[in-house]
Structure 1
């Protein structure tokens, strides 16, 4: 089997002629990503390589990359490397949002999510392709299977809602969901004070997820918005009762 060279390997970064500030480093990395035609899932050079090519220290590179990681743009995997989580380019707009990681922050995010997700459901009805709806069905079935086997399905639930945002045709909705809501929930899931893994979600949330899929498949915007509203109402009510 013939090994094909990595086309990005021939592309290098030029040393920064001025100060190696975080903004200048990220601009240089953005230009590199575009020149190398890298996309979601592709691996970036190592911190050591980036530091050597840009002429800055590794801690400076690490700090710059961590700012991208905080926005959900890259995935830094210990022992493996740094991977793009989504498209990055000169025309991209990435808006960092600061939020205190405490339970009340989730209620603020639920308010934001309610606005974008009800509209995403409506748009999915109007714009969703056959492939989009099939992707939503597959995600739903994976979520239902996980719930029936283990009683919770955090990752599968995220995948279902991501499929909804993709079907809406508005990529900014998906970015907001990934950068804000999922990130905060992940922090709770890694702690002992986790309000998201609870048995009632199995009994009450799942029928509405299926109702949402069926409404989108039937091209019924009112039913889709109603299903999303019930899902978010239940999440908010349960969290308030648990507070």
Structure 2
């Protein structure tokens, strides 16, 4: 039923094979897994390896132990969490693809924020933009402040899933955002463009104009991608970031 696994990464291999069987439906929700003894024999590994693999699946919420009964597939086991491998985000091409995904989400976020914003959330957006402007004016890279600004807009929608999705994507764009902002800081026109794009989004949200907010957010993300491509050819993102860090620290590249 299962493939024999090599000596290396035994626990990982066992856990992955078991999870694959669960996700493919070979083990349905509520099904009882074979006993440790059976799994140990089929995988050709010790019971300790099986226990460690089961423990990982428990941590992921795929299985649960029932005292005196065994290990069972949970009801939520078929729900696969969204993951992006960090090794897939080291090139400019892959970062631009994530930016493309974020553009679609940011556009809807801005539109919904325009429809639903309150006086309180508008104050929070204004404050976030002011902090971003102040940090950039003070010579900072503005990365954290930029994330906080977009977070404030997402919060104004009243939809927590917008917020969670953007937080998920932002972690993969942090390096690219830092490089982009360093690049933008070297050009006054870029700095001015970014500030004007942010102001356009905020103005549309304040006016309650969903269409204008959507267009302003799309324009901002299109331009962010354009500015990012000026860093160099795909695959050079990590090198450019290192050079930017060296320049800020005074270390020769």
Conserved 8 A contact 1:133-1:217: yes
The partner residue of 2:154 within 130, 150, 165 is: 165
Matched, 1:120 2:117: no
> Relative contact order (alpha carbons < 8 A, sep ≥ 6): 1 or 2 greater?
2
Partner residue in 2 for 1:195: 180
Q: Of the two, which has the highest radius of gyration?
A: 2
Query: 2:143–2:174: 8 Å Cα contact kept in structure 1?
Result: no
Residue 26 to residue 129, structure 1, CA distance change in 2 (3 Å): same
**Would you say how many aligned residue pairs link Structure 1 and Structure 2?**
163
1:98 to 79, 85, 97: 85
- How far did 1:153 drift? 0.9
What's the counterpart of residue 237 of structure 2? none
| Unpaired runs of at least 5, structure 1 | 1-16, 29-89
TM-score, length of structure 1 as denominator length: 0.59
1:185 corresponds to which of 159, 173, 179: 173
Judging by fraction of residues, say which structure has more helix.
2
Give the gaps of 5 or more residues in structure 2. 1-35, 37-49, 63-76, 233-253
CA contact (8 A) 1:151 1:202 kept: no
In 1: Cα distance, 2:224 partner to 2:177 partner: 15
Structure 1 CA distance, aligned partners of 2:92 and 2:156? 30
- What secondary structure, in the 3-state scheme, does the structure 2 residue paired with 1:214 have? helix
Match of 1:86 in 2: none
Structure-2-length-normalised TM-score: 0.57
> 2:198 is matched with which residue: 180, 202, 209?
209
